[in-house]
Amino acid sequence: MLRASATQRPAYPLSETESLPYDVERNLTLLFEKELHLIKEVEQLKSEVITRFDFSVKGMFNEIDDWNYKYIDVKNMKRFLTKTSVYAEECLLKGVIRRLDADGDARLSLKEFTVAVSPIKS
């Protein structure tokens, strides 16, 4: 809801001396704060997972790529999540793939997956 409110307004050009309406700036600020908080949480979770003795990126990739396609797409991600009792809508899964897919082919290679799982170096 917040993202829609902040991003689905009509676009119009602003000069250097103009600013956005207060409600738009406020909603964008709230959106950025939530995104940054989410990124921090995700990075913390990634750090916890990859430091486990029984974790490997390749093993995790293979677990999701259960039909050995050599990539992860919406179908095998949905199967994996369903097996773990997580029921996500297809539009959400497409969004996850789109966010991590570096080459735009609507699927994640092992290389793209490795980059996505690795923590951000600070």
How many angstroms separate the Cα of 98 from the Cα of each of 18, 63, 73, 112?
34, 20, 10, 11
Residues 62 and 122 in one domain: yes
Residues 72 and 27 in one domain: no
Residues 61 and 50 in one domain: no
Q: What phi-psi label fits residue 111: left (phi over 0), alpha (psi between -120 and 50 degrees) or beta? A: alpha
Round to whole Å and give the CA distance between 86 and 106: 21
CA dihedral angle for residue 44, residue 121, residue 94, residue 64, rounded to 10 degrees: -70
Residues 101 and 45 in one domain: no
Residues 93 and 66 in one domain: yes
Residues 88 and 48 in one domain: no
3-state class of 72 per DSSP? strand
Residues 88 and 47 in one domain: no
List per-residue pLDDT tens for the chain, 122 residues long.
656 665 677 777 878 888 888 998 899 999 999 999 998 998 898 888 888 888 899 999 999 999 999 999 999 999 999 999 999 999 999 999 998 999 999 999 999 999 988 877 65
Q: Give residues with Cβ within 8 angstroms of 22, minimum separation 6.
A: none
